[in-house]
Amino acid sequence: MANLRSYIPLLLLAALLGGAAGYLYWFTDDDVHWPAFGSMAVFYAVIYYIGIRAARRQRSEDNDADGMMLAGRDLPVLIAVFTMSATWVGGGFINGTAEYTATQGLVWVQAPWGYALSLVIGGLVFARTMRRRRYRTMLDPLAERYGRRLTALLFLPALTGELFWTAAILTALGATFSTVLGIDLEMAILISAAIAVAYTALGGLWAVAMTDVVQLIILFLGLALIVPFTLEYTGGLSATYAAYQEQFGAAASLLPSREALGNDYWTWWDYALLLTFGGIPWQVYFQRVLAARDERTAMVLSIVAGLVCLLAAVAPAIIGMVSATVDWSLLSATPPPNASATLPWAVRYLTTPWVAIIGLGAVAAAVMSSVDSSVLSASSMGVWNVYKPLFDKDLPDSKLATYIQRCIWIVGTAATLIAFQVRSVYELWFLCSDFVYCLLFPALVCALFDPKANRHGALAGFIVAAVLRFGGGDGTLGIPTFLPYPDDFPFRTTAMLGGLLTIMAVSRLTNSRPQTVQESA
């Protein structure tokens, strides 16, 4: 019976993939590319098997909260670097870079170097302090400084960021699947989300980290194989970039200039700061920092992962340039129907069928490596920083791990439902950092580095930042503008600085001692 039970997860995977294949064959009119579907089924089976094996290790060695959330704080350096890099280099990273390179010009491809800088700054400034204090989540220093109730409020932008991040990368995969495999977007999203959430719920961070190693290797190999095939259609790299410069002019450079940006000059800097500093206050980042074996490892893996992020952006940027400059009329295809289809369109029509399958595996690997990390991070914070302190203070670590597993399914389901409504991967990708930059970054900085910061200042800072940020409106969420900002005004950075200064000022004006968890409980 014990041996049979060990095969149950694999039997469930077979049932999921078999059911999906049956549904596509009998109940849809989709022109499915069955060899590609079979190849992806094998890929998913391998990843799922690795996740299940890691889950067994987690259950046998670290069957508690530290094991589920932090892999027992025993991640080796190499695996830690792989999982940190794979978390950031997700489907949104790959698809979004190609999308904006092809449609807006390299000058607006800010996320790759912005997130790379955030990892380097996080490693140099934040990682050692967080690891030294042995926190379990990014919200622990906030709970220590501001109290549990205010931390529950600050959990909202963190949760929203993780949900939007997961939805964006699921959408990236869905768009690729629907283009290359010929299956509908919803089915692609459901299959990928179910598999990633399943092994994450079973194995926690060990499962996520071990699958990340395989996924990142597949990602780099797949993209490296795609690029030469796409460049054949535009005459090589030099000719492609020359044609790209002719098409986009000053916007073909990464460097900002008035000529390239026009009336959006300060908006560019607003987004640049948002991505750089808004890439720091993420539980997916600090989960790996806190799981490192020591302070030095935490710092090193952050810096190395930043360099990996830059390398991972090269291939999708080249693919974006090819998509923008290739003469689609000479091919058996029209230009991409929308911006988010840039990468999958190039993979399908500018490569051979088998290379397209490998490219699809690369994108799938990127997506799953980020989905599993995000749902684990949001669930860890929700149970450890909200449910336990507010609703069940005596919850033991063994049961806490079980609650995190259940929460993983809830978060994964919510992100999947959001993914069904997403149109632009890159816009939602930006929005993820937007919230945490404006609302969470000031509170984290003050909690770690301002000894006079207290909950009164943190609450005032949150309110000020929220009003200033949402006063500028948001097209992605349909929020109207209600503050009269001038055109090209950096209101996101204004909101962040307003919140930061408010925390510092109100904390000193209230003349209150910094709150701790014990004092505010």
Tens-place pLDDT, residues 452-504:
999 999 999 999 999 999 898 877 667 788 898 998 899 999 999 999 999 99
pTM value? 0.83
Residue 430, pLDDT score: 64
What whole-number distance in Å separates Cα of residue 342 and Cα of residue 104? 12
The amino acid sitting at 29 is: D
Which segments of the chain have a pLDDT < 50? 1-7, 514, 516-521
Q: Which of 46, 65, 68, 47 is nearest to 57 (CA)?
A: 68
Counting Cβ atoms within 10 Å, is residue 22 exposed (0-12), middle (13-18) or buried (19+)?
A: exposed
Helix ranges (H only) for 232-341 are: 237-248, 258-261, 265-278, 283-291, 295-325
Nearest to 206 by CA among 60, 75, 297: 75
Write out the two tokens for 81: 């670097």
User: What are the DSSP calls for 248-263, one per residue?
Assistant: HGGGGSSS--HHHHGG
- Structure-block tokens of residue 50: 């690795």
Q: Is the dihedral of CA 459, 374, 310, 262 positive or negative?
A: negative
Token couple for 285: 């980042």
* Tokens of residue 335, six digits: 């230009």
Closest to 458 in 3D by CA, of 501, 410, 422, 403: 501
Cα dihedral 158/160/161/167 (nearest 10): 150
Residue 58: what pLDDT?
A: 55
Q: How far apart are CA 352 and CA 466, in angstroms?
A: 49
> Tell me, what DSSP letter sits at residue 351?
S
C-alpha 450: how far from its chain's center?
Answer: 29
Task: Give Cα 22 distance to the centre of its chain.
Answer: 32
Instruction: Please name the residue that has the structure tokens 């999921």.
Output: 16
From residue 489, alpha-carbon distances to 117, 278, 374, 483 in Å are: 23, 18, 31, 11
What's the token pair of residue 436? 């945490």
> How many other CB atoms sit within 10 Å of the CB of residue 263?
9
Specify the DSSP class assigned to residue 138.
T
In angstroms, the first-to-last Cα distance of the chain is 47
- The first and second tokens of residue 28, run together, are 């849809």
CA-CA-CA-CA torsion sign (262, 100, 320, 348): negative
* 124: number of Cβ within 10 Å: 12
Buried b (16+ CB within 10 A) or exposed e, 449-484: ebeebbbbbbbbbbebbbebbbbbeeeeeeeeeeee
Please, is 182 exposed, middle or buried when counting C-beta atoms within 10 Å of its C-beta (0-12, 13-18, 19+)?
Answer: middle
Query: In this structure, are residues 318 and 227 in contact, taking their beta carbons and an 8 Å threshold?
Result: yes
pLDDT of 6 reads 47
**Structural domains of the chain in order of their starting residue, each with its CATH number:** 2-520 (1.20.1730.10)
248 strand-pairing partners: none
